[in-house]
Amino acid sequence: MLTQNLPDFWESLYSKGKDYWNAGKATPALLDFFENPSCPKSGSVLVPGAAYGYDAEAWAKRGHDVLAVDFCPTSVDALDKLSRTYKNIRSLDLDLFNLSPKDPKKGGETFDIIYDYGTFNAIHPGRRDEYFEMCYRMMKDEGLLIILMSPLSNDSTMKGPPHATSEGELMARLDGIFDIVERIPVTNSLPGKGKEEFWLLKKPQE
Ligand SMILES: C[S@@+](CC[C@H](N)C(=O)[O-])C[C@H]1O[C@@H](n2cnc3c(N)ncnc32)[C@H](O)[C@@H]1O
């Protein structure tokens, strides 16, 4: 059975035109967030599950060095193309759960910023702790994890992906791993997205 743990699952959605997350442009809420004082002005960015790379491209245009990771061929092709256009974008064909700061073939460094829109909510919910563990090991100690939670709603009846999350679930999973430094509501979500909110997370400081 194909599950979202496998690249073939995602590739089949791309090939059937069921890539409903593909807005064909950078996420408007991200472009707004760039103007927010809480958005770091500089720093390297990791984008796990970067899809066609529109948001990775937006970070690169803002001057950041970007590593865009995905594991299905349609995405990897798109990210490879972007990496040939922008010298500050690298693409990596890898299962994001295998990212490692110690292995040059699996990322090979830690990042100032990890940005996610749509990937946390796309992976199997049973792997969310593992996802946060990956973010923890790939982030610098002073780094910032920026996740646009979508949808953030307790009452969703939707069958995923995307899988809904909730404030209560996130509080429980983040406890002791990341501090929630800020939550920023989104006012210009794309149609049909449900409640969306940026969560800005940092490693707990001593
Ligand atoms: C719902 S899409 C969202 C993508 C993107 N953030 C956006 O908003 O356009 C999820 C993407 O994550 C990728 N993905 C899912 N699980 C992954 C994994 N374990 N490793 C790498 N990429 C993964 C899929 O191939 C797909 O391109």
pLDDT score recorded for residue 21 = 85
In a domain, 1, yes or no: no
pLDDT score recorded for residue 154 = 63
In a domain, 87, yes or no: yes
pLDDT score recorded for residue 191 = 79
pLDDT score recorded for residue 40 = 98
In a domain, 154, yes or no: yes
pLDDT score recorded for residue 155 = 62
In a domain, 52, yes or no: yes
User: pLDDT below 50 — which residues of the chain?
Assistant: none
pLDDT score recorded for residue 157 = 62
In a domain, 22, yes or no: no
Paired strand residues for 46 = 67, 114
pLDDT score recorded for residue 116 = 98
- Residue 154, SS3 per DSSP: coil
Domain count, the chain: 1
d(CA 117, CA 50): 9
Question: Could you list the residue range(s) of the whole structural domain that residue 74 is in?
Answer: 7-15+28-202
Task: Indicate the burial class of 203 (C-beta count within 10 angstroms; 0-12, 13-18, 19 or more).
Answer: middle
pLDDT score recorded for residue 2 = 76
Phi, psi of 130 (to 5 degrees): -60, -35
> Which of 46, 54, 119 to mutate for ligand 1's pocket (most ligand atoms within 8 Å of CB)?
119
Ligand 1 atom at minimum distance from 97 CA = 19
The response to whether residue 14 sits with its C-beta less than 6 Å from ligand 1 reads no
Q: 30-49: buried (b, 16+ CB within 10 Å) or exposed (e) per residue? A: beebeeeeebeeebbbbbbb
The pTM assigned to this predicted structure is: 0.96
In a domain, 195, yes or no: yes
Q: Nearest to residue 92, comparing CAs of 169, 103, 133? A: 103
In a domain, 2, yes or no: no
In a domain, 122, yes or no: yes
CATH number at residue 178: 3.40.50.150
The response to whether residue 131 sits with its C-beta less than 6 Å from ligand 1 reads no
For residue 80, report the distance from its CA to the centre of ligand 1, in Å: 15
